[in-house]
Structure 1
């Protein structure tokens, strides 16, 4: 037998490479969820411009001036600019500042942003671990259900009661998310399918509970719980709805940022999200990491449920989660799965929600235009090459242009 070089595979064996399709899918997932922040900012800008144009072209005065645009084009473009900017000015006045209320609208924005930030952090953390957490909606519902029950059924001293409400809300979300992670790790089931199904299970479970005597308010025919004890709710600022839950959202953002950057567990999350096979080879327990990642993600989404039931609503209803779980996906995508990026994306979407009502009242613009802008943001975030091509940021074209210039010079 001929000697075999050390470190080389046997003559008849070829190195086994990971499947190309799998690598391509992982790379695409990372590009969508963890791309450059500049693309997100530009995507928001383009979405706002398109939203403004949609408002403008449906404005009555714009349509009237379009009839004689060639005779007096200045009238048309003046009305086009007025209609396009007027709605956003009203949105700003309803979400940040206006002369009549001062910065009170900004406090409302912070209030609305609180559950978006918490749920967005849950989705973003799962993204960093390589999983698409569509189940924030169900995790919010279970977290709110457990927190709400502790809030109205138990009667405890001030600090202890509120701490238990928060703890049980986090625990409910963690159990709901961790169960998905367990099924994925043990059976190989896809987390997208699992989380979608768990959303429905959580929704109908809450619907069932709200029709039981343990959860329904005495004397009520509508499915609504008793009001939470005052000791079980977040303190609020005088003259606003802003509550201490916003401080909880800030603390959770700091915690997630520290965990991902400084802790061993956060490193394992990122390693598994980048390449599970390489992480397993390096000694990481991928199954354990998957379960923990989904449990932590669920706990963060459960915190959004706590913010809703103990901060804003103070009661438990079937619609306590609204569309927060699905908006959280957009928030996490816009934040590029970074804790602070998600935090500021949550503030932006909170401003959209808080200012939409004033926009409709002041200008008559349909409130649905905010949903259109949010949908456009998702579109542009999910298609980074589209945004890059709009702004001429395609590096391949630059390389080809440079090579063409060099070839011409030669």
Structure 2
């Protein structure tokens, strides 16, 4: 029991210290280039919490990060690195908008859920390709999903320019009845783009937690992640669980794209690169240690950094690139968590030795 409590404390300390070390490194870089780190971080906090509008935008940005992070965590728990969440986000975004603008006369109670389901299905199908190839041909899901990312990017751009529009870079706006926005949310958040996605994200935190901890499917996904051969020996259908874990992962990532298409932008446009939101969602899952509760707090932190960081140049003169350095540093320290664990264990051993000497 004592070892379990110690392990739980260390698991909490690792991401906390990663964030602290990332912020310290960001402050050092600001000082090295002649900027005031206190002024920079104060401007960031004002940019995230300084008005109802900023708070609304911060929560709006966190909403898709939560579901994308949850999606990545499901695959990660099964032992797979679904680096293709960015492509799955993009296809979810594309298909939800495509359905919405294709049936502008449908009532909202039909058009909205069908558009959402179309985006979720697109992400699930795209991830399912990698899952199928991994299950039956033992291909690397990392390589397959990277290739699928670029396929999704160029396919989306082609469809926007040649199918959804007449050589335009942006589609028409979706019908109002297909939007995730609500007037009352916009009013209480000072006109921000905060939408119903925030409630969907919070509900899915509970759903994924129950799925992974309280259901047979969740147990089998976790078992596959720990040992595929032992799971097969125990009578589990490992191929089915591999595919299902990737399908669930892609469906949640696609839902993140739905929130962008039906909530944030209410259209889709030609992309110059993969949506950064997908990669941020992966980082959120890693920082949250694939725990639904941890993902919630990590998504809020990233939203504060991203939205608040836009106010740093005007508020303190610090360039927004510093925010990306801080985020990269946090991910580095999470990835190098064995170093943090090493120093924590070393200090614990020193305290035990000191206590024994006394």
TM-score, length of structure 1 as denominator length = 0.79
Tell me if the contact between 2:60 and 2:195 (Cα under 8 Å) persists in the aligned partners: yes
1:128/1:269 contact within 8 Å kept? yes
Would the alpha carbon gap of residues 305 and 401 (structure 1) be closer, same or farther in structure 2, given more than 3 Å must change?
closer
Q: Does 1:268 align with 2:220?
A: yes
Give the counterpart of 2:18 among 27, 43, 48.
43
The aligned counterpart of 2:175 is 229
Residue 317 of structure 1 deviates from its aligned partner by 1.2
How many residue pairs align between the two structures?
Answer: 342
Q: How far has the Cα of 1:211 moved from its partner?
A: 2.0
Alignment pair present for 1:86 and 2:29: no
Computing the radius of gyration over CA atoms, which structure comes out larger, 1 or 2?
1
What's the CA shift for 1:327? 1.2
Q: Identify if the C-alpha distance between structure 1 residues 403 and 365 changes in structure 2 by more than 3 Å, giving closer, same or farther.
A: closer
The answer to whether the 8 Å contact 1:279/1:286 transfers is yes
**Structure 1 residues 399 and 344, CA gap change in structure 2 (3 angstroms):** closer
2:308 to 348, 355, 376: 355
Aligned residue in 2 for 1:298: 250
1:194 correspondence with 2:144: yes
- Alpha-carbon spacing, 1:341–1:398, altered in 2? closer, same or farther (3 Å): closer
SS of residue in 1 equivalent to 2:311: helix
Shift of 1:401: 7.8
TM-score (norm 2): 0.91
For structure 2, the residue ranges without an aligned partner over 5 or more in a row are 1-6
> In the aligned structure 2, how far is the partner of 1:261 from the partner of 1:401?
35
Superposed, which structure 2 residues align to 1:234-383 within 5 Å?
234-236=180-182, 237=185, 238=187, 239-319=191-271, 322-383=275-336
Match of 1:117 in 2: 66
Aligned to 1:23: none
Whether 1:135 aligns to 2:84 is: yes
**Aligned to 1:222, what secondary structure does the other structure show?**
coil
Cα shift at 1:398: 4.7
Partner residue, 1:394: 345
RMSD: 2.0
How far is 1:158 from its partner? Answer: 1.1
Give the conservation status (yes or no) of the 8 Å contact 1:113–1:350.
Answer: yes
User: How far 1:402 moved relative to its partner?
Assistant: 5.3
Q: Is the 8 A contact 2:153 2:274 kept in 1?
A: no
Higher relative contact order (CA 8 A, sep 6+): 2
Residues 161 and 270 in structure 2, CA contact (< 8 A), matched pair in contact too: no
Q: Which residue of 2 aligns with 1:27?
A: none
8 A contact 1:37–1:335 mirrored in 2: no
Is the CA contact 1:308–1:321 (under 8 Å) kept in the aligned structure 2? no
CA distance in 1, matches of 2:219, 2:261: 33
State how far apart, in whole Å, the 2-side matches of 1:401 and 1:355 are.
40
Q: Deviations over 1:114-152 (max 9, x none)?
A: 111111111111111111110001101111111110011
* Aligned residues of 2:181 and 2:193 also touching (Cα < 8 A): no
Q: How does 1:65-84 map to 2 (within 5 A)?
A: 83-84=36-37
Alpha-carbon distance between aligned partners in 2 of 1:110 and 1:193, rounded to the nearest angstrom: 33
Runs of 5+ unmatched residues, structure 1: 1-30, 61-82
Aligned counterpart in structure 1 of residue 117 of structure 2, from 142, 145, 167? 167
Are residues 59 and 149 of structure 1, via their aligned partners in 2, closer, same or farther at CA, if it must alter by over 3 Å? Answer: same
Post-superposition shift, 1:403? 6.6
Partner of 1:19: none
- Structure 1 277/166 Cα, relative in aligned 2: closer, same or farther at 3 Å? same
